[in-house]
Amino acid sequence: MSAPRLIAVIGGTGAQGIPIVRDLVKSGDYTVRALTRTPSSARFRKLQSFGPVEPVIGTFASEQDLRATFHGAWGAFVNLDGFNSGEKTEMFWTIRAYELAIEEGVQFFVLGNLDYGYKKGGYRPEFRGGHYDGKGRIGQWILSQNKDNQSRMKAALFTTGPYLEMVISQNTPMSPSVEDGVVTWRFPVGDGAMTYVALDDCGPYVKWLFDHPELSNGLDLEVAIDHIRGAELARAFEKVTGHPVRFVDVSLDEYFGKGFGLDPSGPAGYNADLNDPATLTIRENFSGFWNLFRHSGGNKGVLQRNYKLMDEIHPNRIRSAEEFFRLEEQKGLRKGLGTLWERVQPENIKDILKITEDNRSGRL
């Protein structure tokens, strides 16, 4: 039996990184080295509870720390936090991460990616969203570079979307409220649909990319549970919990004016500078974000997915909002968190995103 391959991970303590590290390590096929600012944190200790995870103390905005993370690794999974750095800085350090991974001898590089929505929307300004385009733009650059670098390092993209866990968590763009005993989602998706992903599906997808480099090299693996409309989301939650639920479509003005939780005039990135003309405001960034989904209903619009390919790669993937909520109900009961209905009540609801858990989102 061959020795486990070492995977270097940037973004391992994030919401997506945790299940990816978990599934890589628990498989026995891989060990993980992860970059972290705080190896004593609860999130990093959770990574180490899965098996061998070696810390490298540092930041992605350091060539020395990136080199130390990549040195001697067979593979790399890189998912930078754009809301930490802002779009421009994320682009630069993702490029440097790719280049330094080649320099340090990494054989296979996977980028945690998002849709290049601005391009997919025909470069129309209403689809411009910095935290999507920053990743998607560099994802395309990596695939272009990959054509010239086959002999040194191969690469693939893992393109996701909003986590469905965000609709049952606090401090997210689609958090629920409880209004007169009714769980309510209010966000501006219109007749469109969201390409939600389930965090527990991320590990199997990324492990497949590393397991099959001869097939995944050059692939942009775009994933989702399904194209899920707001009304469908509410019906599924009501069916699973047996409690009243509703979805209310709102305008962008209403969304940003009531209860979004972030200052719409603030920068889209807590280390970004509004004096820099490259920095989008929260409103500019999330207007583009919502417009992508407003124009993506029925898997026919701006954002599309190949569900047949996903079924082949991950036959046990979650395929509907109802299935996701049923699994979450069971998970919560096993962990002593209560029912799904209880978990979304104001006194119980938790963070899912590391940025809000660390209190670095700039929330009001």
Model confidence over 352-364: pLDDT tens digits? 886 666 655 443 2
How is residue 238 written in tokens?
A: 């009501």
| Predicted pLDDT at 288 | 98
Q: Helix axis angle, 282-294 relative to 130-146, nearest 10°?
A: 70
Measured distance CA(303)–CA(292) in Å, rounded:
7
The tokens of 111 are what?
């980028």
Structural domains of the chain sorted by starting position, each given as residue range(s) with its CATH number in brackets: 5-162+198-222 (3.40.50.720), 164-194+227-301+319-357 (3.90.25)
- What pLDDT is attached to residue 32? 98
Determine the pLDDT at residue 269.
Answer: 87
pLDDT of residue 360: 52
Assign residue 280 a region: left if phi > 0, alpha if psi is -120 to 50, beta otherwise?
Answer: beta
Write the CB contacts of 322 (distance below 8 Å, at least 6 apart in sequence). Answer: 236, 239, 240
Structure tokens belonging to residue 206: 């990324």
Q: Tell me the C-alpha distance between 8 and 262, whole Å.
A: 33
Residues 232-269 as b or e (16 or more Cβ within 10 Å = b)? bbbbbbbebbebebbbebbebeebbeeebebebebbbb
pLDDT value of residue 82: 86
Q: Measure the CA–CA gap between 88 and 60, rounded to whole angstroms.
A: 14
The reported pLDDT for the residue numbered 355 is 66
The helix (run of H) or strand (run of E) holding residue 311 is helix 307-313
Q: What is residue 262's predicted lDDT score, i.e. its pLDDT? A: 85
Q: Which residues of the chain have pLDDT under 70?
A: 1, 259, 354-364
What burial letters (b/e) apply to 278-296, b meaning 16+ CB within 10 Å?
ebbbbbbbbbbbbbbbbbb
State residue 87's pLDDT score: 94
